Structure 1
Amino acid sequence: MTSSSPSAVSEDSTSLGLATWSNEFSLNWNHDAPQGVDVSLFRPSIPPVVSQLLSGFDPINSSFTLPELAMLPVDVVLAVSDSTFQEIPIVQDEDNDPEGVRLLLCPTPALDKNAKSNTLPFVLHCYSQWALARVFEPLKLVYTMRDQVITHFSSETTRNRTILIANVMDTFAKKLAIDDSRKTILNHLVLDVQQSGAYFTATPPSSVPNWDRQNAMHTLDSMLETFSLQIATQSISACIQSLDYAAPVFRRACSEPPEQPVNLANILLQSNLNLRNFAIFDIIQSITTGRPTYIRYEVPFSLELCERIYQVQDSIGLRWLHGFPDQFILLFAWIISLCEVPRAGNNAELVTWIETNLPHIKIAVDDSGDPVLRIGRMVVQECWRFAVLVFLYMVLGQAHAHDPRVIRALKGFMRLVRGVKPGRNPDAYLFTPMSVAGVAATEAQDQDTLRQRILGVRECADPGTVGNDVVLELEDIWARARDEGRPAVWSDLRIACFRVTGR
């Protein structure tokens, strides 16, 4: 029988918050540069937020005017009228949608180009195309996405933004990249939500806590929807900047008092998608950049808790959105918290308990849908299991890349990667665990495989995107370790992130 908690760790230690990983929130906040990095090489800054870029903009009225800075390209679909209507393309080839997501989200309408009522079908179509291109298991998302789009579209305050987001999604889904026109739109959307976040954070909390949390969650909703576009099209630095703004909003949305850590397990087990989404982004940005988490978390961990998360995966889990198993997110956070326990890294019994019980953490695999896609999704999630091992040994155990345990974990990871053919599925969802496991890659063959698989994903091939930055970080780690005649260690990732992003 497998033990559900390590005997070598006290009950208190399993719920330690990330005490030294918290930060005071400020729009000018930045982490200190890693030791040995010349700060003068980088001058990152947060640009001033443009005030009310889209205020007074009515996309349903063709007579709208915008400030000169915010003028949009003529091919952007803002309303359904003679001058601005764009036909929804009728896609005959359904090879990119073997699970029928497009039909579920937006049945193809018979379009009348003069009917304003066709704006919503266009928006739904754009969101369905985006889901096919970016969502790990779009079938799990389809009804939630449809309801959310309809809700946003029915509101005067969110309709304009929803239409602009749809235009960015439409272009990305067609090209897996966005043109200069859509980059302009996205930059305006980002500045707008950053301004909203800054304004909310600067406003004193309401005397009614529940009301304040609801306002925070509403603000966070807009910020994270825009953030989903950023992680597909913009740099790591730009994404981190948006998290700078979103983190204090998230903290106001949590029920714990400001002086207490946020219980991560409660976040992962509750129904609010935006709270779960931010917490996952926070943990992922930490393990893939070497930076601290934004939020101080209380992190309980046990196999029983993993089982509870597994049981609710279909109803509230976010594995279907990003391909990150929620149980592993919790385990990553727990490992981070254990790093704050004196001598925990030297506790061989603790490390053994984690590596022994890791195979017992069940991952949900949807039996429905396309069988080929299902195989790719299974590979992605099992790759995360090996990425956890690499992280465990190199972070908690402070092992270097030549440690036999690290070599063994990386070998298992690479065997899975090479076991599936290169392609959008699964590679579009593999480059994140690759950024973790890649720190341990020392053989030229493994480095070449990781480089080729990441850059083979269309949106990762463009400079100034998250995926491309990941490759630059890995190249920096590999080159420095090679030039200095030593194996890589985990702190190399933090230095590489700073050298590539300035953050």
Structure 2
Amino acid sequence: MFDTQLPSENDGFGRNNRIHTAHMSPGQASLFWALLSLENRPYEARVEDPTHGHIINGLAANRYVTNSAWMDKMLFDPTRVADKTRDYIIRHYHESEGSRQIVMLIANILKSIAFNPSLDPDYSCKALALERLIRRSLAQVADRPLNPSREVDAREARKGLYHTIEFFAASRFAPVQMSLNVLREAAPVFRRALSGPLNEYVHLPTALLHPEPNIRNYPLMDIVYSMVTGLPTNVKYNTVWYPGATDYALLVDDQGHLGMSWLNGLPNQLIVILARINALSEDDGTDSDIEMVYEIGESLRTLYKEIGDHSRLLHPTNKLRVAVPRAWCQVAYIYLYLRVCGADASDARVICAQQEIMRIINSCEPSLNLDVHLCVCMIFAGVVTSNPDERSTILTRLFNLPENTLFDSGVHAGIQSLQDVWARADAESRPAAWIDYRLAAVRVAGQWVV
């Protein structure tokens, strides 16, 4: 999954010779190998994905493992991070007893997700246990006195963020409050884990290229959760590109650096744009804001075109993956116009973005692997949708997501928020606005959005 490398000591098949499961129970061994396995992927991936061959090449089947369904269900492009996922898991499994405990707990949760967490009565308890372990690790770092050496302090702080990327994935079916708790408590640790004075804003483009994946993932989660809850981000970000910096407009992450688009389909530049919209929404409004709105719009148009140009180079079976970043570009437009410009659902710019998302949704056959990454896009499009047929399409796709089977999950809360927005706007015979979504979030999800 990640850019962490193991010491070179393998059997020629990509497996580390130091891995021994003899001391594990059969159940533990099954879970551990389920994490590592890249064998017996779903039929669709085996037959249609041209990149699949390199994933399973050289990996022997394990008798404990049925499939690696958790990767297919949770990652936008699992083929790009298959080898690094294995290395990351092995490294942390051998790191310490505490780390091994977390790895096994994560394996338990991912196994539930791979099948159906609603059928596992212990899923919520396991997710809560993982949250407690992660928060305890974060607290230990946050309470530790600063090391006189910023380099040493940053290196030690990074350890506190270990496993947060798995936590956010594993808590997808859990209440949103769990993720908000971890985001809030991880913020000071994340800041300490980066170089530079602690009182300065985090330079977001640089953080998104950090070699440690848990650091790259934190601002992504912070920004997306800020969008869907209306809460401010836990960290303040500097979104200015330095002269001569890497071209963050690239859609596909450099092969030498995986970025985070493999996780949910968002290219780095789009994350930076969303952070800029968040920052603008917190300003009182100035002439420079008008210029910034125009600049953001131009950046989105450029990125959308680059995504389209890139799609023409893809294998036909991979082109569906382009639907996600394209839909997210339109979400950014809606978010910009609703939250910063004060527009409502009748604004021509909002209508244009909403219609493009609906076109993307309708052009793709319903698919759990695709729809889970379009979920936030469908919710934002839904906020400004008044057509009954389009509302029905959005609800049907959201209802069919496995996350909706648990009544306190984020997806279920999102559906309830949409229905609340529609009921209020329809009752008052007016187009929906950002305030309607905020009120719906407060009513449905409670105190965490106040």
Cα distance in 2 for residues equivalent to 1:185 and 1:409: 39
Q: 1:41 matched to which residue of 2?
A: none
In structure 1, what is the Cα distance between the partners aligned to 2:92 and 2:421?
A: 44
What whole-Å deviation, never above 9, does each CA across 1:408-433 have from its counterpart, x for those lacking one? 22111111111111121321110022
Shift of 1:434: 2.0
- Change beyond 3 A, Cα 1:355–1:410: same
CA pair 97-186 structure 1, distance change in 2 beyond 3 A: farther
Q: Alpha-carbon deviation of 1:486? A: 2.6
Which secondary structure state, in structure 1, belongs to the residue aligned with residue 300 of structure 2?
Answer: helix
Matched, 1:386 2:330: yes
Q: Which residue of 2 aligns with 1:184?
A: 125
Distance 2:69 2:54 in 1: 7
Q: For 1:198 and 1:105, how far apart are their aligned partners in 2? A: 41
Shift of 1:138: 0.4
Runs of 4+ in 1 over 6 A off after TM superposition: 302-306, 366-370
Tell me: CA distance 1:349–1:162, structure 2 relative to 1, closer, same or farther (3 Å).
closer
Question: 1: distance between equivalents of 2:58 and 2:400?
Answer: 30
Q: Paired residue for 1:135?
A: 75
- Displacement of 1:404 in angstroms is 1.7
> How many percent of aligned residue pairs carry the same amino acid?
27
Structure 2 distance, partners of 1:318, 1:92, is 22
Q: Secondary structure at the match of 2:397?
A: helix
Structure 2 CA distance for aligned equivalents of residues 89 and 346 of structure 1: 50
Q: CA deviation at 1:92?
A: 8.6
User: Which residue pairs with 1:31 in the alignment?
Assistant: none
Answering whether residue 210 of structure 2 is matched by residue 270 of structure 1, we say: yes
1:210 and 2:158 matched: no
**Cα offset, 1:262, TM superposition:** 0.9
User: Partner residue of 1:329?
Assistant: 271
> 2:148 is paired with a residue of what secondary structure?
coil
Aligned: 1:107 with 2:51:
no
Aligned residue pair count: 415
1:178 positional shift: 5.7
Change (3 A) 1:348 1:264: closer
Q: Name the amino acid aligned to 1:457.
A: L
Asked whether the 8 Å contact 1:346–1:397 carries over to 2, the reply is no
Q: 5+ residue gaps in structure 1? A: 1-58, 64-75, 112-117
Residue among 148, 172, 179 paired with 2:88: 148
Cα pair distance change 1:369/1:94, threshold 3 Å? farther
Which residue pairs with 1:447 in the alignment?
Answer: 391
Question: Distance between the aligned counterparts of 1:311 and 1:446, measured in 2?
Answer: 29
Q: What are the within-5 Å matches in structure 2 for residues 58-69 of structure 1?
A: none
Q: Identify which of 151, 162, 167 aligns with 1:226.
A: 167
- CA-to-aligned-CA distance 1:293-332 (integer Å, 9 cap, x gap): 0101112169997833517713232111111222111111
Q: Deviations over 1:149-174 (max 9, x none)?
A: 11122233222321222122123212
**1:160 equivalenced with 2:133 (yes/no):** no
CA 1:483–1:101 in structure 2 vs 1: closer, same or farther (change >3 Å)?
A: farther
Tell me, in whole angstroms, the C-alpha distance in 2 between the residues paired with 1:305 and 1:440. 37
2:422 maps to 478
Matches of 1:443 and 1:476 in 2, distance apart? 16
Structure 1 residues 344 and 444 mapped into 2: Cα distance closer, same or farther (>3 Å)? farther
Match of 2:293 in 1: 351
1:327-359 superposed Cα distances (whole Å, 9 cap, x missing partner): 111111112223345534896555344334422
Q: Please say if residues 271 and 316 of structure 1, whose CA atoms lie closer than 8 Å, have aligned partners that are also in contact.
A: no
Cα distance, 1:382–1:165 mapped onto 2, change above 3 Å: same
Q: Counterpart of 2:56 in structure 1: which amino acid? A: L
| Paired amino acid for 2:330 | F
Aligned-residue RMSD, C-alpha: 3.3
Question: TM-score under structure 1 normalisation?
Answer: 0.74
CA drift at 1:137: 0.3
Q: 1:255 aligns with which of 192, 195, 207?
A: 195
Among candidates 68, 72, 78, match of residue 28 of structure 2: 78
Q: Residue in 2 aligned with 1:465?
A: 409
CA distance in 2, matches of 1:85, 1:450: 37
1:291 aligns with 2:291: no
For residues 409 and 90 of structure 1, what CA distance do their matches in structure 2 show?
40
Q: What SS does the aligned partner of 1:487 have?
A: coil
Q: Which has the larger radius of gyration?
A: 1
- Corresponding residue of 2:240: 300
Q: Given the alignment, which residue of 125, 141, 144 partners 1:200?
A: 141
1:56-92, Cα deviation, whole Å (9 max, x unpaired): xxx97579xxxxxxxxxxxx82258xxx999x99859
1:92 and 1:275 map into 2 onto residues whose CA distance is 29
Q: CA deviation at 1:102?
A: 9.8
Relative to structure 1, the CA distance from residue 353 to residue 156 in structure 2 (aligned partners, 3 Å threshold; closer, same or farther) is: closer
Query: For residues 217 and 242 of structure 2, what CA distance do their matches in structure 1 show?
Result: 22
Report the CA distance between 1:142 and its aligned residue.
0.6
Aligned partners of 1:105 and 1:142 also within 8 Å: no
In 2, Cα distance between equivalents of 1:478 and 1:334 = 28
Change in CA separation of 1:399 and 1:181 when aligned onto 2, cut-off 3 Å: same
1:170 to 108, 111, 119: 111
Does structure 1 conserve the Cα–Cα contact (< 8 Å) formed by 2:403 and 2:411? yes
Q: TM-score, normalised by structure 2?
A: 0.82
Does the Cα contact within 8 Å between 2:55 and 2:82 map onto a contact in 1? no
Who is 2:302 aligned against? 360
1:148 is paired with a residue of what secondary structure?
helix
Q: 2:262 aligns with which of 293, 315, 320?
A: 320
Q: Partners in 2 of 1:354 and 1:306 — Cα distance?
A: 19
In the other structure, the counterpart of 1:50 is none
C-alpha separation between the residues in 2 aligned to 1:243 and 1:85?
A: 29
